[in-house]
Amino acid sequence: MTASPRGPIVDEGVAPIRDRIAEPGALQEQLRLADHKIENLSALVEISKIINSTLDLDTLLTMIMEIIQQVLNAESGSLMLIDERGEELWYRVALGAKGKELQNGFRLKMGQGIAGWVAQHGEPLLVPDVRADDRFYSVPDEVLGHRTRSMLCVPLQAQGRTFGVLQAINSKSPGGFVRDDLDLFIAFSSQAAVALENARMHARLIEKNRVEQELMIARQIQQNFLPASFPKVAGVKLHARTLPAWETGGDFYDCLDLGGGRVGAVIGDVSGKGVPAALYMVKALSEFHFHASAAAGIDRALGALNDALFERSTSGMFVTLLYVVADTGARALSWGSAGHPPGIVKRAGTGALEVLEGGDGMPLGVVSGARYAARTVPFERGDLLFLYTDGIIEARNRQGREFGMGRLKALVARSRGGAEAAVRQALRSVERFAKGAPQHDDLTALAVRMG
């Protein structure tokens, strides 16, 4: 920049042009084009400020479309996104007289129409007369009573991937859309794509945090349904613990003082994982409390519990469950199973292991009217009962090998101390075995020791 003889500052790039061009009309056209480019550059700077001023996706989308109409002097504009399957384009935002109608159901297949072509090929298009272009898809115009004359269409791309297109429809300028408009639109779409991707990532992060918070609350609620302490009945000790694979799990346990020196204990596993399993678990526990307290025996309690869960069954979910009653007076252990892995008894006198086979029935909630049998074995002083869910025997290490029933029986045989020690030793052993491998299922153990 230098001072002219008259005093004002003159752009050195423009002055030679003025000296060389003699025709007033040519000079005016050169100045008009220069002014237009300056306006476009200024517009890009302002656009960048505006679209980077918010991370709210809906606000950002509205801003982008309003800028398109204003800067490109277009009658209308639209932003279309490619669906998750990569097969169709749908109108996320559409401005103009027919915008709302476009958003309410019109879709384009990839490759269909000018927008579909741009999405498929990832290349921008300037179409001065859409009727002269074989790629133009006229159905939306015909249905809505609209007339598209000209179009600018550019891809929205991030990380080398096209995820949508921007369209400017029908220029209101006398000369229609020109190459400079397309260049501006391309530059604008690059900024818009980055801003949109940032907003979408921000929205996903907020949603992830919301889900994690809800799962944390759900886990706290679920844990509150599991007993924080165990019945204090002379002559028997109980302990249990669960380690969910997810924030919430489908395994559960409970213990009841049934009176007369009798203690009931239950361990169960709801099909599925996550929040649905946790909710079903809460329902199963509530129903168990009611029916175990009201029924005269294990067989009737399981039958009534099955029918109650079947009546309120959701999405084919079911429960496997093992219900035991330790009678300190009779020195006996009774049990009934609803499709659950068998318990293991370690005999105090000999150290021998006894697997509680038999007494099996259907998992709960599968069919109405299922019947369950109860069996009884002696349960003497010092005997230990160990219950578990299939997550323990099916836990895998990094080599893909299962913990298995053999390791579990050996672990119970080696156990020393009471019920609490047995549960802690079992869970610690499984965690050591599977260290470094992902936990695919809940781990739950419950032990009962006759005093």
Taking only the tens place, the pLDDT of each residue in 5-45 is: 333 333 444 444 445 444 556 666 566 555 555 665 566 56
Taking only the tens place, the pLDDT of each residue in 60-83 is: 777 777 777 777 889 988 888 999
Q: In the chain, which segments carry CATH 3.60.40.10?
A: 231-450
The chain-wide mean pLDDT, for the chain, equals: 84
CATH topology of domain 231-450: Phosphatase 2c; domain 1 (3.60.40)
pTM of the model: 0.60
Taking only the tens place, the pLDDT of each residue in 273-316 is: 767 777 788 888 889 988 888 777 999 999 999 999 998 776 67
Is the model's pLDDT at 126 over the cut of 90? yes
CATH number of the structural domain 21-203: 3.30.450.40
How many whole angstroms separate alpha carbon 287 and alpha carbon 312? 11
Q: In the chain, which segments carry CATH 3.30.450.40?
A: 21-203
